[in-house]
Amino acid sequence: MTAMLSRPRRRGVRATLLVLPAVIPVAIVVIGGIGTTVVQSLGLMPLVGTPALSVKTFEGTDDLLSSALLSLGIAVVSTAIAAVVGFFTAVLIISGNWGGRIVGALSAAAVTVPHLVGAASVGLLLSDSGVLARIFGIPPESWPALVAGPTWFAVIAEYAWKESAFIALIIVGTLATRITSYDETAAVLGAHRGARLRFVVLPLAAPSLLVASTIAFAYTLGSYEVAWLLGKTYPEPLSVMALRLFNSASLTARPEAAAVAVITLLLTAAVVVLAMLGLRRMRAWQ
């Protein structure tokens, strides 16, 4: 009797013990990291002096708004490109033709490239003395300022390149096993290729497209090295601003860096919540 009663509880304890080793480092990093950042941003953890609660770092930090808008702009444009390219790449891969196999291998290769390496390559490719300028024989003074220019072209291109490969692979992963039978079913019900793409493939891919795009968006918003390497020095995206303040000699800069980080966290959280609401609506009609 007691054995029977204690069984499920023991199983619960065992499950908790299995989860704990993963939960502990994640909790330290996420809760500890965010907590300390928030505490710092509120002036409760200064490098020198006495802690005092204040929100003046959020007001005192110059250009916070323009940086936030810039970060959002870069993330929106690059994620939008990545979502469109990623979806069509996934459709090509799923079709399974030889072309799809080549595209599948190339996009898988792009996913494994570190963003920093991607940024370095895009720099070598697009700068005014870059490989493209040389191949087309265009002198540096006539080549548009793609790297470190006002359009943030190279930064957006790098994000769109890497994240389109990521989005494509996520969609392929969720569709590959079941899309063929649904595609065939739709075809024998008389749906031509365009109708199948619109009524079957796109809606089936939509949830994973949304999730993958949200991950890509959050990554782009919080990423540092690409914008730092390929971007203009002013105005600067949130991440670059935060790191510059963090490394600056000024003692007041640390709380300001933390404030920038908190702004970024809030923006990311807002986007994630919106995406989850969207996902719930999608699931509702499933």
Partner 1 sequence: MTVTTTSVDLDTARSNQQQRRMPGDHGRPLTQSRGLARALRILSTALIALWFALPFLPLVLWSFADQWMHPAAFPMETGTDGLTAAIANGGGRAFLHSLALSLVVAAIATPLGAMAARALSRGQVRFGKAITVLLFSPVMLPPFAAVLGLNVLLLRAWVPPVVGVVLVLVAVAIPYTTFSMRAAYAAYDDGFDEAARTLGASSRLTLWRIHLPLIAPALARSAFLAFLVGWSDYLITLVVGGGHLVTLPLIIASSASGVGNESSVAVLSLSAVIPPLILLGLIARSRNLDPGRQR
Partner 2 sequence: MTTELMTSAITLTSVTKSYSTTAPAALHGVNLDILPGTSTAIVGPSGSGKSTILRIIAGLEDANGGRVRLSGRDVTALLPEQRGISMVFQRPLLFPHLTVLDNVAFADRAAGVSRAQARKQAREHLEMVQMGTFASRSPQSLSGGQQQRVAVARALAAKPSVLLLDEPFSALDPGLKDEMHAMIASIRAAVNPTILFVTHDRDEASAMAERIVVLENGQLLQHDTVDHVFHQPASLAVARLLGGKNAFAGVIDNGVHHSAIGAVAIDGDVGSGRATLVFRHEAVTSTLRHATSGADAAALATPHADAAACQRLGPRELRGTVTAAVQRGPRRELVVRVGDADVHTEAAPGNLLSVGDPVTVSLPCEALWTVPA
Q: Does 80 bind partner 1 (CB under 8 A)?
A: no
Site string for partner 1, 227-256 (x = CB under 8 A): --x---------x--xx--x----------
Distance separating alpha carbons of residues 48 and 38, to the nearest angstrom: 17
- Token pair of 17, please? 């013990």
**Per rule CB under 8 A, is residue 200 in the interface with partner 2?**
yes
> Angle 238-247/202-222 helices, nearest 10 degrees?
20
Contacts to partner 2 from residues 204-243, by CB under 8 A: 204, 206
Q: Does 97 bind partner 2 (CB under 8 A)?
A: no
Contact 267, 68 (CB under 8 A): yes
| Contact set for partner 1, span 92-121 (CB under 8 A) | 92, 94-100, 102-103, 106-110, 112-121
Query: Which of partner 2, partner 1, none has residue 204 at its interface (CB below 5 to 8 Å by kind)?
Result: partner 2
Containing H/E element for 247? helix 238-247
Residue 122's Cβ-count burial label (10 Å; 0-12, 13-18, 19+) is: buried
36 binds, among partner 2, partner 1, none (CB under 5 to 8 A by kind): partner 1
210 sits near partner 1 (criterion: CB under 8 A): no
User: How far is Cα 101 from Cα 95, in angstroms, rounded to an integer?
Assistant: 9
Q: What is the DSSP letter of 250?
A: -
Whether residue 28 contacts residue 252, with contact meaning beta carbons closer than 8 Å, is answered with no
Q: Which of residues 139-198 bind partner 1 (CB under 8 A)?
A: 139-140, 158, 161, 164-165, 179-180, 183-184, 187, 193
Kindly state the DSSP code that residue 106 receives in the 8-state scheme: H
Q: Which residues bind partner 2 (CB under 8 A)?
A: 181-182, 184-192, 195-196, 199-200, 203-204, 206, 282, 285-286
